[in-house]
Structure 1
């Protein structure tokens, strides 16, 4: 059991969710306001993607990240900023020539994936620790060992804490290899990501299996998508971990009731407190994890 819990709010993501929920934040102003609302509701961390304001699709434009971060930092609301570094690894084989990229491919190099992290220096950025099939089409998310080693080294040199996002056991195995090679500073920080097709399933047994493979000093959180968001939040706390919620992973507060990010944070905090734990403030989390405030 974890009695001092951090709550992350993943406010928007990059998925095609706008058609199902008109309240998913899109513009930098909307995303920043949603971060601020989540922080005021009690979130410790904000995990931030950006979207193209014209299309609503996920973006990796550093200017959009800068506008969001500047708005949050200037708001006077304290929250630990966690920027995604997971964009730029999408590969879709071409229909006529599978050796060539098809529509939907967005594949860039290791350092380019971190352009916004290098310039903005958030406290945390995500690091997706392996390649996986993504969804039911031909899309592959590519994150190779060479890319990951380069990215981990750069992130460490900038004083940013990598959140090691792991979607299956092989990702944990390679993350531990990077730790052994000195590429990840103590304490390592893991996010166990469950339910994404086709990574590990969002069940209590799966979470425990993955948690048991983490290194002894690891600080970890876990989440499940869709209707398993809150059950996995409770399971993570019971097993000694931390919590992630938000519209990136789940659109509903209750069956048929669309949520806001702040409402999902409030629901998670209610679960945490009813379990006898408390939620750490951003300042307490920075001290615990040795984070450098941006």
Structure 2
């Protein structure tokens, strides 16, 4: 099982007290996630006021802490438009990052996704692209970087678990039919986290878990934090095929 840990997202400690938000907390949680069995770690960076940011000083602060505390951990960050004041501002920020993550995520539901993905690759980072719905798939398939992805994230936004799983599989079918050979990864949110994760595992794909996606264990009980979620995911086995 290839497992990606999504350790904080846009959460605050009011959402879950175990959420890492400072550079030091994020670095320590990235190391702990890797030691618990995560293959890679995805994190969201905070500005001094607590908001999400991809401004170079904020990226430097977190990545320098991660490299100091967890030098061997593979980490990626978001390029989500919500971290910037539109596509031009996002592009300018990514273009001027000083410290670079190992990989960066680009969502193809957003304006300027193809250009941002090209910039990520041009700057020497590993790219992972994401689709949130069937409507996003044509833009992904038309992108010049389609075959440069380390993985493609399939992130159905449906609230109903069965619908989310069905949409994830429909997106995967369109992507693979287009000749894409890189790994796929489905993940859900809140009530769909575990059904979508199980579907990804059953379909032979990579999986993702962490507080960014949801804070309950498979039995519905509250998760103390990321490590409990990682351990629960690693305990799963795919259904017989």
Q: Provide TM-score, normalisation by structure 1.
A: 0.71
The answer to whether 1:192 aligns with 2:154 is yes
The structure whose Rg is larger is 1
Q: 1:39 to 1:77 in 2, by over 3 A?
A: farther
* Displacement over 6 Å in runs of 4+: none
* Alignment-derived partner of residue 172 in structure 2: 211
The Cα shift of 1:189 comes to 2.0
What stretches of structure 2 of length at least 5 have no aligned partner?
A: none
In structure 2, C-alpha distance between the alignment counterparts of 1:258 and 1:53, rounded to whole Å: 28
Within-5 A mapping of 1:103-142: 106-109=85-88, 110-115=90-95, 118-130=97-109
Where 2:195 maps in the other structure, the secondary structure is helix
* Alignment-derived partner of residue 175 in structure 1: 140
| Superposition RMSD in Å | 2.6
In structure 2, C-alpha distance between the alignment counterparts of 1:115 and 1:252, rounded to whole Å: 37
In structure 2, C-alpha distance between the alignment counterparts of 1:120 and 1:201, rounded to whole Å: 41
Q: 1:208 to 1:185 in 2, by over 3 A?
A: closer
Q: 1:258 to 1:76 in 2, by over 3 A?
A: closer
The Cα shift of 1:6 comes to 1.6
In proportion to residue count, which structure has more strand? 1
The answer to whether 1:68 aligns with 2:62 is yes
- CA contact under 8 A between 1:12 and 1:49: conserved in structure 2? yes
The Cα shift of 1:209 comes to 0.7
- CA contact under 8 A between 2:188 and 2:213: conserved in structure 1? yes
* Alignment-derived partner of residue 156 in structure 1: 121
Which of 267, 281, 284 is equivalent to 2:232? 267
Which of 192, 202, 223 is equivalent to 1:258? 223
Within-5 A mapping of 1:18-167: 18-54=13-49, 56-76=50-70, 78-88=72-82, 106-109=85-88, 110-115=90-95, 118-130=97-109, 143-144=110-111, 147-167=112-132
The Cα shift of 1:255 comes to 3.0
**Which of the pair has the greater relative contact order for Cα pairs under 8 Å at 6+ separation?**
1
Q: Provide TM-score, normalisation by structure 2.
A: 0.85
In structure 1, C-alpha distance between the alignment counterparts of 2:29 and 2:64, rounded to whole Å: 14
Where 2:129 maps in the other structure, the secondary structure is strand
Alignment deviations for residues 24-79 of structure 1 (CA, whole Å, 9 cap, x no partner): 1111111111111111101011111012354x332333223222222222224532
- CA contact under 8 A between 2:106 and 2:128: conserved in structure 1? yes
Matched length: 234
Q: 1:75 to 1:206 in 2, by over 3 A?
A: same
The Cα shift of 1:231 comes to 2.1
Alignment deviations for residues 225-277 of structure 1 (CA, whole Å, 9 cap, x no partner): 11321221111011121101111111223534233111111111111xx3389
The answer to whether 1:234 aligns with 2:228 is no
Q: 1:213 to 1:108 in 2, by over 3 A?
A: closer
